[in-house]
């Protein structure tokens, strides 16, 4: 609670969190109340911004404002779900390897290193390409399954330094099982760290989704920010100077990344004792 | 399950350690025999003291007695018999469920730092009970916890506190309370008072003896390098040197009439107040 109050005193944290929460708020609420279908071709292609279409239309004559906010919701969903998948997979692998040590850690570190040296975007493209019907959840899982290694490595390092603490020994001596030790003795200690990792994974998820959607490998069942840019690319909006077809989506992706980055660094300033400022 | 309230089987031998040997394996494949042929037994209501210099194998012996063989520590030979069973033959899961915390419990060296600062005392204590008795309800657990904390002279409100809110002596009591929750046959106290001031040391030891007298636990192995302290606590004392018991006897005999040369040296090394105004002890000059 004290640390949360410290966080709220950080203007950068408040700024980043407000920006991200505003995006979530708009992304969730607009599609609930809007009656505009973002896929409806209701106007001429590449109409500029006007009172009827605040952000103009794309090459297919679809309203860009609606597409942008529906896309925001989908990108947030994929990013958050990918962040959850990556954090869960990485935390389980890291905490088990770090605690068990020995050959278990060696095998898990080998797997982690293998995933780390293979560029995740390549794996992502290959997997996405081989699956025909890619739902948002599936895309999120694929992203999560390829971006967990950094989480695993960081959690493993933290766990191996914690496993020899006296409170873990006392738990062992009193008959705690391995799951109880990991969940009750070690995880609470690294929870703030895991949460910060989750924020970074979420940002990675949003970015990776945009990357594969730009290549036309995104989810088939919705509009996403990456798909808006892909659409602009296919209809040559870049070369024709139709900035409204791609710029708002680009700005929104950048804003989401920036807000999450700012939240993460300001949290690190509070949770990391070496960076903590006296107050 | 052992009797929930107290241990009640007088004159029973609770633990027999027979010719126990344990060794460490170094990363270069060498073997270091850290405990070599140690034997003793412990009856209900008795305190067995183990003394020796740092590095002589006292804490390793504790791991051996609890059959906690975590690499690089390995079992060599001998047996540790609890309730007629040799627990060195148990696998780690059976040891965890049937022995640790339930029949043999330990108050570790760094007891002051042994509580997880991120969790309230009651959560730690609840987990210990749940790990052994899964069917206990929350109300039953809290009732038993409050009863036990009152028995060790702590306000039950301590259960709702974080370790950071407790003093050193209170933390020590909490650790003792948690380690004796399941009424173990044997409590191993590994230098439990080394980090405490003299007056708190006294009250903690008095509390341990009181708990044993009230049969909340059966017997105790008390490990320290402070021989005078052992004299006040233990019925029998073993002096350990290079992994072996070089002398075992009643506390009076070991303290005042030590037979082995090493025991004599250990006694002579005790710092005494000089009547001539000299500031250094005999031992310090050695």
Residue pair A271/A193 in contact by the 8 Å Cβ criterion? yes
> Span B10-16, mean pLDDT?
80
The Cα–Cα gap between B116 and A164 comes to: 12
Average pLDDT, whole number, for chain A? 89
- Tell me if A40 is assigned to some domain: no
Within a domain: residue A72?
Answer: yes
In this model, does residue A4 exceed pLDDT 80?
Answer: no
DSSP letter for each residue of B130-147: HHH-TT--HHHHHHHHHH
Set of chain A residues whose Cβ sits within 8 Å of the Cβ of B178: 170, 174
Structure tokens at A171: 């738990």
**Distance of residue A34 Cα from the nearest chain B Cα, in angstroms:** 45
What confidence tens digit (pLDDT) does each residue in A107-136 have? 999 999 998 888 888 888 888 888 888 889
Residue B143 counted as domain residue: yes
Confidence class for position B284, pLDDT limits 50, 70, 90: very low
* Mean of all residue pLDDT scores within chain B: 86
Q: By the CB < 8 Å criterion, does A192 face chain B?
A: no
Residues β-bridged to residue B18: B79
Confidence of residue B32 (pLDDT cuts 50, 70, 90): very high
The pLDDT value given to residue B281: 47
User: What integer pLDDT is reported at residue B274 of this predicted model?
Assistant: 57
- Amino acid B152: pLDDT: 85
User: Which H or E element spans position A71?
Assistant: helix A64-100
> Does residue B103 lie within any of the structural domains?
yes
Residues of B in contact with A191 (CB under 8 A): 118
Range of the domain at A96: 64-271
Say if A36 falls within a structural domain. Answer: no
Asked if B179 lies within 8 A of A102 by C-beta distance, the reply is no
Asked if the structure places residue A50 within a domain, the reply is no
Whole-number Å distance between alpha carbons of B273 and B281: 8
CB contact, 8 Å: A171 with chain B? yes
Peptide bond into B72 cis (omega under 30): yes
Spatial separation of the C-alpha atoms in residues A176 and B132, rounded to whole Å: 9
* Residue B116 in domain: yes
Interface test with B, best of A170, A192, A194, A195 (most B CBs within 10 A): A170
According to DSSP H, which parts of A101-224 are helical? 102-117, 120-130, 136-147, 149-162, 166-173, 178-180, 187-214
With CB atoms and an 8 Å threshold, state whether B114 touches A176. Answer: no
- Quick check: A170 and B101 CB within 8 A? no
B282 against B54, higher pLDDT: B54
> How long a stretch of residues is chain B?
286
**Which structural domain range is residue B113 located in?**
13-285
**Residues B93-137: tens digit of each pLDDT:** 899 888 998 899 998 877 678 898 888 999 989 988 888 888 888
How many domains, in total, are found in chain A?
Answer: 1
Higher pLDDT, B242 or B195: B242
Q: Which of B68, B100, B118 sits opposite A174 (nearest CB)?
A: B100
pLDDT, tens digit, 9 for 90 and up, residues A177-219: 899 899 999 999 899 889 999 999 999 999 999 999 998 888 8
Q: Inter-chain contact B108–A170, Cβ cutoff 8 Å?
A: yes
The minimal CB distance from A166 to the residues B101, B114, B128 is found for: B114
Burial of B45 (0-12, 13-18, 19+ CB in 10 A): middle
For residue B280, the domain's CATH number is 3.40.50.300
Which of B114, B119, B179 is opposite residue A184, by nearest beta carbon? B119
Separation of alpha carbons B57 and B244, rounded Å: 8
Asked whether the beta carbons of B99 and A174 are under 8 A apart, the reply is no
pLDDT exceeds cutoff 90 at A248? yes
On the question of pLDDT at B7 being above 60, the answer is: no
- Note every long-range contact of A32-37, with CB atoms under 8 Å and residues 24 or more positions apart, other chains counting: A34/A66, A34/A69, A36/A63, A36/A66, A37/A66
Instruction: Render pLDDT for B229-261 as a digit per residue (tens, 0 to 9).
Output: 888 899 999 999 999 999 999 999 998 898 888
Q: Is residue A58 part of a domain?
A: no
The pLDDT of residue B277 is: 56
Domain total in chain B: 1
Q: Is A54 on the interface with B (CB under 8 A)?
A: no
Structure tokens at A189: 């200690």
Q: Do A189 and B66 touch (CB under 8 A)?
A: no
Distance CA A46, CA A59 (A): 5
Token pair listed for A1? 């609670």
Q: Which residue has the tokens 């949290």?
A: A267
Considering the domain boundaries, does residue B168 fall inside one? yes
DSSP B160: G
Write down the pTM of the prediction. 0.79
Contact assignment for B108 to A165 by CB distance below 8 Å: no
Q: Does residue B154 belong to any structural domain of this protein?
A: yes
DSSP conformation class of B119:
S
User: Do A58 and A67 touch, CB atoms closer than 8 A?
Assistant: yes
Residue A275 burial class via C-beta count within 10 angstroms: exposed 0-12, middle 13-18, buried 19 and up: exposed
Whether B174 maps to a domain, the answer reads yes
- With CA atoms as reference, report the closest residue to A163 among A105, A104, A98, A102: A98
Among residues of chain A, what percentage have pLDDT more than 90?
Answer: 51
Residue A240 lies in a domain: yes
A167 in reach of chain B (CB within 8 A): yes
Q: What is the CATH number of the domain that holds A213?
A: 1.10.3720.10
In a domain, B189, yes or no: yes
Q: What pLDDT is stored for residue A278 in this prediction?
A: 55
Evaluate whether residue A39 is within a structural domain: no
Residue B73 covered by a domain? yes
Contacts A170 to B, Cβ<8 Å: 108, 111, 114-115, 175, 178-179
Write out pLDDT tens, residues B54-108: 899 998 999 999 999 988 899 999 999 998 899 999 998 899 888 998 899 998 8
Q: Which residues pair with A57 in a beta bridge?
A: A63
Q: Is the pLDDT of residue A144 over 90?
A: yes
């Amino acid at each position: 609670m004290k640390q949360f109050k410290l966080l709220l005193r950080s203007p950068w944290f408040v700024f980043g969190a407000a920006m991200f929460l505003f995006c979530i708020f708009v992304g969730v609420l607009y599609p609930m109340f809007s009656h505009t279908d973002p896929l409806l071709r209701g106007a001429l292609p590449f109409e500029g911004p006007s009172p009827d279409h605040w952000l103009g239309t794309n090459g297919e004559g679809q309203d860009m404002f609606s597409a942008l906010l529906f896309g925001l919701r989908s990108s947030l969903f994929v990013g958050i779900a990918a962040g959850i998948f990556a954090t869960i997979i990485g935390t389980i692998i890291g905490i088990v390897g770090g605690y068990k040590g020995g050959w278990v850690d060696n095998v898990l570190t080998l797997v982690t290193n293998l995933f780390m040296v293979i560029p995740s975007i390549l794996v992502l493209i290959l997997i996405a390409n081989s699956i025909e019907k890619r739902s948002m959840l599936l895309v999120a899982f694929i992203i999560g399954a390829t971006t967990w290694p950094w989480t695993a490595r960081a959690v493993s390092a933290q766990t191996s330094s914690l496993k020899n603490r006296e409170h873990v020994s006392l738990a062992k001596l009193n008959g705690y099982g391995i799951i109880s030790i990991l969940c009750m003795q070690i995880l609470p200690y690294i929870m703030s760290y895991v949460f910060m990792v989750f924020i970074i994974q979420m940002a990675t998820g949003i970015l990776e989704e945009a990357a594969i959607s730009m290549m036309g490998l995104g989810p088939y069942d919705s509009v996403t920010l990456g798909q808006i840019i892909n659409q602009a690319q296919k209809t040559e909006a870049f070369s024709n100077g139709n900035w409204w077809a791609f710029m708002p989506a680009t700005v929104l992706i950048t804003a989401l990344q920036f807000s999450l980055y700012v939240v993460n660094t300001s949290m690190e300033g509070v949770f990391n004792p070496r960076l903590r400022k006296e107050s | 399950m052992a009797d929930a309230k107290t241990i009640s089987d007088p004159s029973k031998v609770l633990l027999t350690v027979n010719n126990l040997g344990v060794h460490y394996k170094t990363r270069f494949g060498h073997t270091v025999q850290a405990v070599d042929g140690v034997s003793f037994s412990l009856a209900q209501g008795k305190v067995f003291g183990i003394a020796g210099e740092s590095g002589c194998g006292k804490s390793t012996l504790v791991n051996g007695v609890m059959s906690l063989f975590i690499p690089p520590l390995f079992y060599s030979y001998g047996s540790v018999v609890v309730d007629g069973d040799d627990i060195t033959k148990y696998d780690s899961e059976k040891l965890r469920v049937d022995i640790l915390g339930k029949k043999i419990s330990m108050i570790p060296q760094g007891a002051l730092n042994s509580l997880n600062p991120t969790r309230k005392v009651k959560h730690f204590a609840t987990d210990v009970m749940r790990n052994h008795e899964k069917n206990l309800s929350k109300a039953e657990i809290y009732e038993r916890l409050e009863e036990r904390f009152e028995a060790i002279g702590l306000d039950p409100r301590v259960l709702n506190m974080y370790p950071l809110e407790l003093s050193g002596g209170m933390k020590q009591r909490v650790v003792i309370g948690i380690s004796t929750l399941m009424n173990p046959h044997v409590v191993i106290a590994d230098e439990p008072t080394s980090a405490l001031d003299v007056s708190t040391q006294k009250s903690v030891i008095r509390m341990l003896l009181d708990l044993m007298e009230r049969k909340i636990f059966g017997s105790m192995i008390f490990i320290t390098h402070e021989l005078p302290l052992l004299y006040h606590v233990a019925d029998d004392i073993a002096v350990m040197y290079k992994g072996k018991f070089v002398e075992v006897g009643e506390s009076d005999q070991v303290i005042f009439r030590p037979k082995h040369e090493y025991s004599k040296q250990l006694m002579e090394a005790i710092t005494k107040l000089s009547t001539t105004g000299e500031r250094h002890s005999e031992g310090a000059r050695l």
